[in-house]
Structures are given as structure tokens and as C-alpha cells.
Amino acid sequence: MPGTVFDEEGICNNCRDFDAQAPVTWFPNEEGQHRLEQMLQTIKSRGAGQEYDCIFGLSGGVDSSYLALKLKEWGLNPLVVHVDAGWNTELAVQNIQAVLDHTGFDLCTEVVDWKTMKDLQAAYFRSGVTNQDVPQDHVFMATLFHYAKKFGIKSIISGHNFATESVPMRWQHNAMDRINLRAIHKAYGRRPLKGYRTVSFVDFYLLIPVLHRIKFYRPLNLIPYDKDEAIAELEKVGWKRYARKHGESEFTKFFQDYYLPVKFGIDKRRTHLSGIILSGAITRDQALAQLQQPNYDEDSVHRDIEYFCKKIGVDQAEFDEVFARKPDDHLDYSTWNPLLASLRWMKRLIRVSPLG
């Protein structure tokens, strides 16, 4: 996988990082239960007197849907946010409703202006960069921040979990880099970015965490989390499983199952399976057996391509041309990397300062 390197002992950086991060991040044990109780107390305290004590995004996928059930069990009162970027599957809509019927949580649905979203998605496709999920991921986080500030909510609950997502996708550029997003859109977009929420560098690193004091919490890192067991619990409330991972989004399914492996030779299943091998959920042999299965269904891939092209307004000739030519790199465009470097320098300066 891109970004994977081996040391002199033949151990890759993913395994080394897991060994370093697990003791301070992942607590599927009694200590985790104690930490979870403290976390829940903190969230409730920070939300005291507010209509909602936290906020979280619900996509209809396994992680966010299961998290909703746990938040109900833990006695939290979240504002649920769903961002409709135009790629929801019918099953995702049904699963979201099943979860809401069970929990009784309030929902805010943000519908992104489709003409803008379509233009941005097409711009990313024409650029050929690796992280085609940026248009959805960026507006998802921007919308969460918007509603958190609007309702005075200080705690964002994330469904990200170390047990299944410990191995990073090193080939991807950060979806929160608005400078990069705007640069790609400027190069290939054909209409203004209207009706599409964004977050600036200053918002993300300074205003949101410092001024608004909004903080992320990842409770799934503090409990034993097994996908199959989570699905079994979800099915009890009417949630139905997807045929493939990320089956809640027509685009993400196409992106991960076809675009990445065909254009870049990147099989994202390797990242996912490596993470759950490290967490002990499966063996390496079991993972290798799963990789023997095709990434996508040959019988349906042509229909998926036709649907994708029609959805974003790209004809088959342009689709073939984009796939055939050398892709752009995110770093071919302006990024927030210089600002990040300056921020790191300021942090080091503060640490060595007598006032630090």
C-alpha cells in the first residue's frame, strides 16, 4: 500500500504505529469502562442547560448507526445530523429512519445544493486525485460544526474507532483542507460553490476548538467493538445490512470498489483488514481469503459506471480519458501545508517559551 515502509526488522510502520497508539487510544476493557463513565459525565456536564448535550452525524452505516443505539443506552440526548449530498442509497434512508424510530432522537437533515455538489464532484473526478471522497467528507464536517455552533453544543461524538480503523489511508489528502478543495474546484469546476458549507484553516484549528470550545469524543474506543455483533444489535431494531462496506453511499461504494483499485491499484480492503488483524478480530489467513474475492461485481460494474457518469454529467468518452491519463496529485494544487508547518513551529515555540 502507498505509504507503507518496513524497518530493519521487517516490521511495517502500520504495525509500529498500532503498537505505539493502542496503549493510549484503545481500551476495550475495564479501564475503558471507567474512562467511558468519565467521558459521559463530562459530555453531560458540558451540555448542562442546553437543549442537546452533544451532536453526531448519522450516515446509516454500521458505525454511526450502532453509535446511535449506544448513545440512547448511555442516556445522552444528541442532536443527530444527516448530510444528504445526493448519493444516498434507498437502504441508507430506510436504515436512518429505523435508527431514529428506535432512539427517538431529533434529526437535522442538510441537503446540499445538488448543482454545486455535482460540479464539485465532477471537478474532483476530472482532476484524478486519489481522495474523491473529499466533497462529501468536507461538507459533512462543516455541517456538523455549523449546527454545533448554532445550538451551542460543545461535544461532537465521532463513530471513528481504533478497532477497525487503526491503519491510516496514507494516500489520501486531508478532506478538511479547504485551500486544496477550492484550488481543485477552480481548475475544473464550472460554477460557484454556493449552497456548500466549508471550514477554513483558522476555523478548524483555532476558532472551533479554542473560541467555541468544541471537542471530539470517540466512545467506541472505550468499549469492545465488533462489527458483526454491532450488526446483530442493529438488525433487532429494523436496520438492514449492506451488501458491501459503505453501501450507504452510491458514490463511496463506486470510489472504493472501482475507482481506487482500477485507477491507482489501491485496494482499500487491505487497510481495513490490516486494522482488524492488528486488533485481533481476524487472522491474516482469514483476511487473505477475503482478498481473494473480487472487489466489485463484474455484472453490475458497467451499470455503476453508467449511473456515475449520468449523475455528475460526464460522458463515457471523458470517463475513459480521465481513467487513461496520468492522475494529478493533491500537492499539484495549493494546500494548507504551509499553514500547518507554521502552526507546528508556533507550537514548538510556545513549548520552549518561559510562558509556555
Could you read off the pLDDT of 249-287 as tens digits, one per residue? 889 888 988 999 999 999 999 999 999 999 999 999 999
CA 103 – CA 238 distance, rounded (Å): 12
pTM of the model: 0.93
CATH of the domain at 344: 3.40.50.620
pLDDT of residue 200: 97
Regions in the chain scoring below 70 on pLDDT: 244-247, 347-356
Domain count, the chain: 1
Cα-based distances in Å from 155 to 43, 135, 217, 334: 6, 24, 7, 31
pLDDT of residue 345: 78
Domain around 237: 13-348
pLDDT of residue 171: 85
CA 157 – CA 155 distance, rounded (Å): 6
pLDDT of residue 245: 63
Is residue 28, in this structure, part of any structural domain at all?
yes
Is residue 1, in this structure, part of any structural domain at all?
no
Q: Give DSSP secondary structure letters for 24-40.
A: HH---SHHHHHHHHHHH
pLDDT in tens, 185-197: 999 999 999 999 9
Is residue 354, in this structure, part of any structural domain at all?
no
pLDDT of residue 353: 36
Is residue 6, in this structure, part of any structural domain at all?
no
